[in-house]
Amino acid sequence: MNGIIPLYKPCGMTSADCVYRLRKILQERKIGHTGTLDPQVDGVLVICVGQATKLVNYLMRQTKTYHGQITLGKATTTEDATGKTVAQKHLSQPFTTQQIKQAMQALTGSLQQTPPLYSAVKVNGKRLYEYARAQQEVQRPTRTVHIYKFELTQAPVFHIIEGEQVLQFTVQCSKGTYIRTLAVQLGELLQVPAHMNQLTRVSGGGFNLEETFTLQQIQAKIAEQQQDFLIPLSQVFTNLPTYDLNIQQWQYVQNGRFLELKETAPQVALYYQKVLKAIYQRQQNLYVPQLMLLKNDR
């Protein structure tokens, strides 16, 4: 079985849980995902099956889009709604929409982030959340991420009794971005504690929320011997020119040989009998292997 599954991950499940469930449903061991979603986050989780697992790194490099909610006035240990409160500031009056928009704009472009202590980032072979649970101090690495868009989607809501302001937002970002950390950074610019209330990934790996399938839907389709939830690998490379291999060229590709093609594009998708088999890249006057998908069958 080879292909890509745009899965809807529900709240309460880890990304690893989803992979485990799919291995049992599909009776397939070779399965991976293209970017972890925290258990409390729902939305698009792109799953790679069989030969598609070779595309994981390629798909992870694509931008992701989220919709969510931020609360200004309270910070938590986990930077989201699941943690314990560690700081509060009663807001006597709300921030203006203009103030919030300016702060969001300041957080677009290249940005330095320190991953949350309660996260799966590894330091010296251990995940950060393991250090947190053991109450051990650890130096967290700083990473550079890119925020393409960070905007309000609705007018902010001020809760006068709680002294908190709630923001609905959308963000488009690079891989490795922690949206809950972005929420904290927004609070820092506004000089108030903040945390992320809720988050949904609405697009990732080239797929939108509307295109996803639930685990229950996939299980039902397998029972009916249907596989329309499995997207062909070729859909990932629709932006590349295609080339149909003859028998001799196909033999060359199977042996990893270079090809002379009447093409000038930097990359080309090679097909044999209408099935994607490899991605080759141009080097001087030849095309050389970049990604081999020889066992792909659809």
Annotated catalytic residues are 38
Spatial contact of 37 and 8, defined as CB atoms under 8 Å apart:
no
Strand partners, 164: 159
CB neighbours (10 Å) of residue 260? Answer: 10
Residue 129 tokens read as 């959340």
Closest CA to 241 of 272, 274, 263, 258: 263
Residue 247 tokens read as 């028998």
